[in-house]
Chains A and B, each alone.
Chain A
Amino acid sequence: MAAAPLRVIDFGRVSPLRSQTLWHAIAHGVSGGGPATLSLMQPAAPYVSIGYHVPYEDVDHERCSDAGLPVYRRMVGGGPVYLDDGQIFFQITVPVEDTPAVRSAAVAGLLAPAVRAFRAVGVAAVLEDHGDIVAGGRKVCGHGAGQIEGAVTVVGNLITRFDHAAAASVIRTPDEETSVELERLMRRHVAATPADPEAFRDAAVVEYTRALDRVAEFSHLTADELDALTELDERFTSPSWVEEPARRRGSTWRVKVKSGVWMAAAASGETRAALSVVDGRIEWARFADPMLNGAAAAVEDSCRGRTLGEAGLVLCRRGEPGMRLAGLLGDVEREIRR
Chain B
Amino acid sequence: MAKLTVDGFVVRDDLAYDLEHHMWVEELGSGVVRIGMDALGLETSGTLAQLSFEPAEFDVDRGAAFGSLEAEKFVGPLIAPVSGRILAINEAALEHPGIVQADPYGAGWLIEVRAHRLDEERDRLLQGAEEIHSSFSAKIREYRVEGVLSE
Q: Which residues of A are at the interface with B, using a C-beta cutoff of 8 A?
A: 51-53, 75-78, 100-107, 130-131, 143-147, 246-248, 250, 334, 337-338
Give every chain A residue within 8 A of B50 (Cβ-Cβ). Answer: 53, 77, 247-248
On whether A100 and B148 interact (CB within 8 A), knowing A53-B49, A53-B68, A338-B98, the answer reads yes
Q: A107-B72, A147-B77 are in contact. List 13 more A-B contacts (CB 8 A).
A: A51-B73, A53-B49, A53-B68, A100-B148, A105-B148, A145-B73, A146-B74, A146-B75, A246-B53, A246-B55, A334-B98, A337-B47, A338-B49
Report which of B47, B52, B76 forms a contact with A147, defined as CB distance below 8 A: B76
Do A147 and B75 touch across chains, with their CB atoms under 8 A apart? yes
Report which of B45, B47, B53, B147 forms a contact with A338, defined as CB distance below 8 A: B47
- In the complex, 7 of the A-B residue pairs with CB atoms within 8 angstroms, ordered by the A residue number, are A53-B51, A76-B73, A76-B75, A146-B75, A147-B76, A337-B47, A337-B98
On whether A338 and B48 interact (CB within 8 A), knowing A52-B68, A105-B148, A250-B96, the answer reads yes
Do B44 and A102 touch across chains, with their CB atoms under 8 A apart? yes
Do B143 and A102 touch across chains, with their CB atoms under 8 A apart? yes
Size of the B side of the interface (Cβ < 8 Å), in residues, is 30
Query: Which secondary structure dominates where chain B touches chain A?
Result: mixed
Separation of A131 and B46 alpha carbons in the complex (Å)? 12
Asked whether B121 is an interface residue with its Cβ less than 8 Å from the other chain, the reply is: no
Asked whether B7 is an interface residue with its Cβ less than 8 Å from the other chain, the reply is: no
Asked whether B71 is an interface residue with its Cβ less than 8 Å from the other chain, the reply is: yes
Do A51 and B143 touch across chains, with their CB atoms under 8 A apart? no
On whether A143 and B49 interact (CB within 8 A), knowing A52-B68, A103-B44, A246-B55, the answer reads no
Tell me the minimal C-beta distance from A208 to chain B in angstroms. 19
Asked whether B94 is an interface residue with its Cβ less than 8 Å from the other chain, the reply is: yes
Report which of B74, B95, B98, B143 forms a contact with A77, defined as CB distance below 8 A: B74
Report which of A75, A107, A145, A250 forms a contact with B95, defined as CB distance below 8 A: A250
Count of CB-CB pairs between chains A and B under 8 Å: 88
Give every chain A residue within 8 A of B74 (Cβ-Cβ). Answer: 76-77, 103-104, 106-107, 145-147
Tell me the minimal C-beta distance from A97 to chain B in angstroms. 12
Give every chain B residue within 8 A of A131 (Cβ-Cβ). Answer: 72-73
Q: Which of B50, B75, B77, B97 has the most CB of A within 10 A?
A: B75
Separation of A104 and B148 alpha carbons in the complex (Å)? 9
Give the contacts of B38-87 with A (CB-CB under 8 A).
44-53, 55, 68, 70-77
Report which of A51, A52, A100, A104 forms a contact with B146, defined as CB distance below 8 A: A100
- B126-151: contact bitstring with A at CB < 8 Å (1 yes, 0 no)? 00000000000000000100111100
User: Which residue in chain A gives the minimum CB-CB distance to B69?
Assistant: A53
Separation of A144 and B50 alpha carbons in the complex (Å)? 14
Do B94 and A102 touch across chains, with their CB atoms under 8 A apart? no
Separation of A145 and B51 alpha carbons in the complex (Å)? 15
On whether A53 and B52 interact (CB within 8 A), knowing A100-B148, A103-B46, A338-B47, the answer reads yes
Give every chain B residue within 8 A of A102 (Cβ-Cβ). Answer: 44, 143, 146, 148-149
Q: Which of A131, A143, A248 has the most CB of B within 10 A?
A: A248
